Homo-oligomer: A and B are copies of this chain.
Amino acid sequence: MTTPLRLGIAGLGTVGAGVVKIVQSRANLLAQRSGRPVVITAVSARTRDKDRGVDLSAYDWEDDPVALARRDDVDVLVELMGGSDGPAKAATEAAIASGKDVVTANKAMLAIHGQALAEAAEEAGRVIRFEAAVAGGIPVVKALTEGLAGNSIERVMGVMNGTCNYILTRMEGEGLPYETVFDEANALGYLEADPTLDVGGIDAGHKLALLASIAFGTRVDFAGVELEGIERISIDDIRHAADMGFRIKLLGVAQMTGRGLEQRMSPCLVPASSPLGTLEGPTNMVVLEGDAVGQVFLRGAGAGEGPTASAVMGDVMDIARGFRVSTFGAPAAALEPARAARASAAAPYYLRMELEDRPGALAKVATVLGEAGISIDRMRQYRHTDPTAPVLIVTHKTTRDALDHARAGFAATGVVAGDPVALRIEQV
């Protein structure tokens, strides 16, 4: 095959510019590896007159990404605009309808419309590839869909939002409060336009939902992800965790149980010396557990121009080589609807609460725990100057139901100010 593979790139932010750079600077390497030239024929973005650090003069310009997707001289739409709906979805649908393959970095679009898009692609005999949507440059979609295709997958875990990990490790490293590091990250451009996508765990939840679909042969079910962000993590939580040999990570876990598919993205305590515990800064790590392979850890940059462009190009090269694989690793029609289940396995929990400084307050809290059947591993009340006293409790293993029971009980005591911070302790 020496027919060139012709790309139409929609979206020319840092990742789009990164893809252009690779196609321009590595033309020989790409052609040699894939057996055919990989070229760009047309591009599209919101504004044409902007210096993106790359020479786009050789490519046709389309103001409308849908028009780009429909061009006869485009074989693959590279969708790098983002957003779950709007132009990204319209262009993706147009590409499929006009017989093009799609490579996208768009986790939100696939987390929400993945099933419909996968069905449309399969009907049209086209593929949608999305390595860049999950964990940046780490080839985790490929590892899960292809490398571990002989495994029944038992669990998928990971730290998949670099910004949250940056915030948490910087809080710990510098002893800074959440708000300060959040503002820093914002100033550095690390946060999405809507920061809740990052710190609320939504972006990472999208990624987890995509991996879960591949892992368990279920339809993407982002609505079934239990989400909790890192907004309530204080520097005290991080210090207490460190004292006990743990670090706090925004951790995603997906597993299939008899009761259904568990998907949760929430801050957890993990052993500081574990592979996940040692992750610093914006690095991502995904752990894949298969019945044959055991645990496979994949670690790398979770975002940024180079890593994300690398993932996009991996998908492009697969298409150039003629690889065809179902969007989520199995025919879309064969994917089962996911039955969402709450995380059921018992685990120890870290609890931090503010207690009214009244006689008997601590006893009330202890009583609530006892009545919920939760036994206490350690409990500590700190000296304080505020009217409320910070209390830290680590429980022995307990269930979520028991914990929820206890949380309701705390509220009823009248001595616990607000809702306690409750973080699962994962022995990963």
Contacts and interface: CB of A to CB of B under 8 A. Distances in A.
A131 B316 CA distance: 21
A146 B150 contact: no
A138 B294 contact: no
Nearest to A317: B149
Given A293-B300, A299-B299, A330-B32, A314 B148 contact: yes
Q: How large is the interface on A (under 10, 10 to 19, 20 to 34, 35 or more residues)?
A: 35 or more
B33 A149 contact: yes
A300 B306 contact: no
A28 to B, nearest CB: 10
A348 to B, nearest CB: 24
B313 A137 contact: no
Interface string A356-394: 000000000000000000000000000000000000000
A11 interface: no
A142 B146 contact: yes
B322 A294 contact: no
Interface in A1-51: 18, 22, 26, 29-30, 32-35
B292 A18 contact: yes
A313 B150 contact: yes
A298 B301 contact: no
A131 B296 CA distance: 14
A310 B139 contact: no
A33 B330 contact: yes
Nearest to A140: B147
A180 interface: no
B147 A131 contact: yes
Pick the most buried of A32, A131, A139, A142: most chain B CB atoms within 10 A of its CB: A139
Contacts of A147: 131, 139, 142-143, 311, 314
29 contacts: A22-B292, A26-B150, A29-B152, A32-B217, A32-B331, A33-B326, A137-B296, A139-B142, A139-B143, A139-B146, A146-B146, A147-B311, A149-B317, A150-B312, A151-B310, A275-B278, A278-B278, A292-B307, A293-B300, A293-B307, A293-B311, A295-B300, A295-B301, A297-B300, A298-B298, A321-B325, A322-B323, A322-B324, A323-B325
Given A321-B323, A321-B325, 13 more contacts: A137-B290, A137-B292, A137-B293, A139-B142, A139-B146, A142-B146, A146-B317, A147-B311, A148-B310, A150-B310, A150-B313, A297-B298, A298-B299
